[in-house]
Amino acid sequence: MTAVIGREAVRVDGREKVTGSARYSGEIALPGLAYAEIVGALVARGRITSIDTRAAENAGGVAAVLTRRDLPAVNRVPLVPSLMGGPAPGETFFPMQDDEVHYAGQPVAIVVADSLEQARYAASLVEVSYAGAPSVTTIGQGRGDAYEPEKIFGGFMPARSRRGDARDGLASADLGVDATFRFAPNHHNALEPMTTTAVWEDDRLTLYDSCQGIKAVQLTVAALLGMSPSRIRVLTRYVGGAFGSKAMVWPHVTLAALAARHVRRPVRLTVSRAQMFTSYGHREEQEQRVRLGARRDGALTAIRHDKISVTSPFDDWAEPAFCAASQLYAAPAFEGVHRLVRGNTMTPTFTRGPGEAAGVFSLECAMDELAGRLGIDPVELRMRNLSDVDPNTGHPWSSSGFAECLRRGAERFGWDARDPRPGREREGDQLIGTGMAAAAYPVAFFMRTQRARARLYADGTAVVGTAAQEFGTGMTTVLTQVAADALGLGLDDVRLDYGDTDLPTAGSPVGSNGAMMVSAAVHYAAAAVRDRLVALAAGDPASPLHGADPAWITVDGGRMALADDPGAGESYGELMERHLMGDTEALGTWDPPPLDTPYGLLTFGAQFARVAVDADLGTVRVRHMVGAFAPGRVLNPRTARSQLMGGMLWGMSQALLEGTHMDAGLGRWANASLGDYLVPVNADAPEVDVELIEVDDDVTGPLGVKGVGEIGQVGSGAAIANAVHHATGHRVHELPITVEDLLPALEWEAGR
């Protein structure tokens, strides 16, 4: 039998995507549809003194201009990450409840009109007056008032973490590194803007929403509006990218529902590209200081890792700087603290590689500096600090593969040929450098029970349903593969139904958990159908398989046969017809292991990069990237490689391009467009090699999947920054690395 799992199957939704027939959430045709446009606050802090809606109301085609007076009181719902399976608002604040303004862009009015053009024009006519107050939006403005919160990250991570005595470990070290890194804020900028279409029929609400988790949308809107979830159905077939931005449920979703209820028509609310910077959270501005202590042989004695960052006025949010960064190496002592500055911004949120992308960057740049000072090869330094157990708990890894990633990545990259001395390789004007870094991303069992249903028809085709969804990760493709595998059917004979909250409950595929958690439920559902029919055949005197041990019956192409005598058998269809079964179906459930499962849970990898720095211009071009990753079992190498490649290029982008700049005087993002917020284009993207290293893992579910969504981004920026140092001899401690950072050093070097 040809294995369906592990096959390089093409995407099941590929044809719809290349023909343009895929209908995304903002493309659902509905009779009587009206268009909503948000009017955002122009000040970052203050009070609304008046709103004049008359000109907007008379602009033509306008159905309503809503202000806070038109909105009901909305319930306050705590901020809990969507992965946990409950209501998950992106911030505890809900706009248009009073006159206070807490951040620029905060919705203060909504215009609903017959056409897009009418709505947009009328929105420009809403006159809002403010009594402004001084705002704080940067670390620089608020450093003096920084505080240590009790918990961060939606309240499920402590702000402080320690093992051993870091002070002692640093003091007793032969050698130390003390480095501080500054990170610009990042906005995900998925290409599909946030969009919600809301339709009421009596007291039942249907939402078409561009989101990462339809259940999270259903439960959040229900909680905010005090409705029963059974009255809300969310349908989301295609999502044009998310990267964490659509994991939590942001105010515009509920505002669309309220606007639709107000005008008694279906309403579509789409935020503009400029509003994409103030309609959902971001990766916060942050500074991280890493102190390493080591012995001469390279063994770490202690790690101290501290972070300060900007959060909102309402929530204690920081992406955790040292989940993976505290687990990667066997240092006996670790201590880290997150401190926060309250700022007039939205609550920050998950951004690809949340926490680890910046935390591991800081650690791995410091490790590179340490390697240089010790005179130990950077790969070798990591090898000398490998840990057989999770150093925080002492539990064994559920699976690792870290050493193998370092070895195979180095081999594929050609690391051994490297001259460790910086600034030695030059091609004309180009300074060439290479760098590497470790990668890691946690596996976390925060989700609740996952469910899926499998139905097999007598003609040997199946439909598998689960309330999961697809936003480009390839999850629907791998779930189809998993179902086909367990049913013993060809891929073309299985159809996956998804993106509908009426289907069996699945969690938000976030935190690189989608493939792991939903595939488990799909596997159990499909296997239950197969096992039922195999047992029926074994017990049926009319079956050629009568009396056989079910454990020795295999299914291939819908035909059940003896494993050791493939000639003896019959098809599902023959058996089902004899038993007058038109179809048969089963529910599959998977309960995640407990949170305190006694294993270290981390996905490992290693990243390598080659860069060229223009000696005269200071521009950095990445020439080649290699990443080796050990994500447990690989369900589909094609889609897995694409996810990892995309993540690696996101790391490149974080290192060299992306930064949202705050105008601290105004308290507004200064570059809120795709012309000014730089993301990579085709000419920025080098060739990327991805090495997949499969490791057996029997803790992370029946298929041993760990996840590939984020780890590609972790460490890739550090590999690039380390390569820039290798090329130029200069270490940049600020992301993104720009010409302005490098030119002074290069000029100094040239003048020497």
Partner 1 sequence: MAIHVGSPPLEGTSKARTVALTVNGEGVELRIEPRVSLLDALREHLGLTGTKKGCDQGTCGACTVWSDGRRVLSCLTLAVAGEGHEITTVEGLQDGGELHPMQAAFIAHDAFQCGYCTPGQLMSAVALLEEGRAADDEIAEWMSGNICRCAAYPNIRDAIREVRDAAGGE
Which residues of this protein are in contact with partner 1, per CB under 8 A? 10-11, 13-24, 26-27, 29, 60-61, 114-117, 189-193, 238-243, 272-273, 471-474, 638-639, 641-643, 645-646, 649-650, 653, 673-675, 679-688
Dist. CA 305–CA 300, nearest whole Å: 14
Nearer to partner 1, 243 or 572 (CB): 243
- Nearest 10 degrees: CA dihedral of 82, 85, 86, 91? -10
Paired tokens of 27: 């493309």
Phi then psi for residue 609, to 5 deg, are: -145, 145
| CB-count exposure of residue 491 (10 Å: 0-12, 13-18, 19+) | middle
Write down the least CB distance from residue 42 to partner 1, Å.
20
Q: CB of 83: closest distance to partner 1 in angstroms?
A: 20
- 403-to-302, 303, 315, 317, 399 alpha-carbon distances in Å: 21, 21, 39, 34, 12
Q: Which is nearer to partner 1, 3 or 683 (CB)?
A: 683
C-alpha angle with apex 307: 44 to 190, nearest 5 degrees?
Answer: 55
Cβ within 8 Å of residue 259, ≥6 positions away: 36, 64, 66, 110, 112, 198, 267, 269
Q: How many beta carbons lie within 10 A of that of residue 115, not counting itself?
A: 13
Nearest-approach distance from CB 502 to partner 1, in angstroms: 24
Judged on CB neighbours under 10 Å (0-12, 13-18, 19+), 118 is buried
Q: Give me 229's structure tokens.
A: 């979830």
Name which of 131 and 674 has its Cβ closer to partner 1. Answer: 674
Shortest distance (Å) from residue 114 CB to partner 1: 4
Phi/psi for 202 (5° steps) reads: 55, -120
To the query of whether residue 710 is one of the catalytic residues in this protein, the response is yes
CA 229 to CA 87: how far, in whole Å? 10
For partner 1, give the closer residue by CB, 567 or 675.
675
Backbone angles phi, psi at 157, to 5 degrees: -130, 135
- The answer to whether the CB of 446 falls within 8 A of the CB of 350 is no
The minimum distance between CB 26 and partner 1, in angstroms, equals: 8
Is the CB of 278 or the CB of 643 nearer to partner 1?
643
Backbone Cα Rg of the chain? 27
Smallest gap from Cβ 210 to partner 1, in A, equals: 10
What is the torsional sign of CA 287, 288, 291, 292? negative
C-alpha span between 653 and 724 (Å, rounded): 14
Rounded to 5°, angle at Cα 578 from 575 and 581: 80
In order of 234, 430, 442, 530, 549, the CA distances from 242 in angstroms are 17, 36, 19, 35, 47
Structure tokens at 357: 């992308």
CB of 159 to partner 1, least distance (A): 32
Q: What are phi and psi of 451, to 5 degrees?
A: -130, 150
Residue (275 or 450) nearer to partner 1, CB:
275
Task: Give the separation between CA 693 and CA 748, rounded to whole angstroms.
Answer: 44
The amino acid present at 548, given as its one-letter code, is A
Nearest distance in Å: CB 653, partner 1: 8
Residue 235, SS3 per DSSP? strand
Comparing CA positions, the residue from 689, 692, 529 lying closest to residue 624 is 689
Smallest gap from Cβ 479 to partner 1, in A, equals 16
Q: Give the Cβ contact number of residue 582 at 10 Å.
A: 9
Annotated catalytic residue: which of 470, 710, 734, 747?
Answer: 710
Q: Which amino acid is at 542?
A: A
The CB-of-701 to partner 1 minimum distance in angstroms stands at 23
Tokens linked to 518: 């939903």
Q: CB-wise, 687 or 696, nearer to partner 1? A: 687
| CB of 704 vs partner 1, minimal distance in Å | 23
C-alpha dihedral, 91 to 93 to 97 to 100, nearest 10°: -130
Of 4 and 173, nearer to partner 1 (C-beta) is 4
Find, among 518, 455, 515, 529, the residue nearest to 486 by Cα. Answer: 529
Nearer to partner 1, 516 or 625 (CB): 625
Cα angle 287, 101, 54; round to 5: 145
Q: Residue 353 Cβ, how far from partner 1 at the closest point, in Å?
A: 14
Closer to partner 1 by CB, 20 or 547: give it: 20
Q: How crowded is residue 722: how many other Cβ atoms within 10 Å of its Cβ? A: 29
Q: To which H or E segment does residue 720 belong?
A: helix 716-728
CA dihedral (409, 411, 413, 417) in degrees, to 10, reads 140
Given the complex with partner 1, which of 311 and 473 has the nearer CB atom?
473
C-beta of 20 vs 594, nearer to partner 1: 20
- Report helix, strand or coil for 718: helix
Report d(CA 743, CA 575) in Å as an integer. 75
Phi/psi for 731 (5° steps) reads -100, 125
d(CA 378, CA 372): 8
Minimum distance, C-beta of residue 117 to partner 1, in the bound complex (Å): 5
Rounded to whole angstroms, how far apart are CA atoms 411 and 137? 45
Q: Write the DSSP string, 117-180.
A: HHHHHHHHH-EEEEEE-----SHHHHGGG-B--SEETTTTEESEEEES-HHHHHHT-SEEEEEE
Residue among 268 and 384 whose Cβ is closer to partner 1: 268
Active site residues: 710
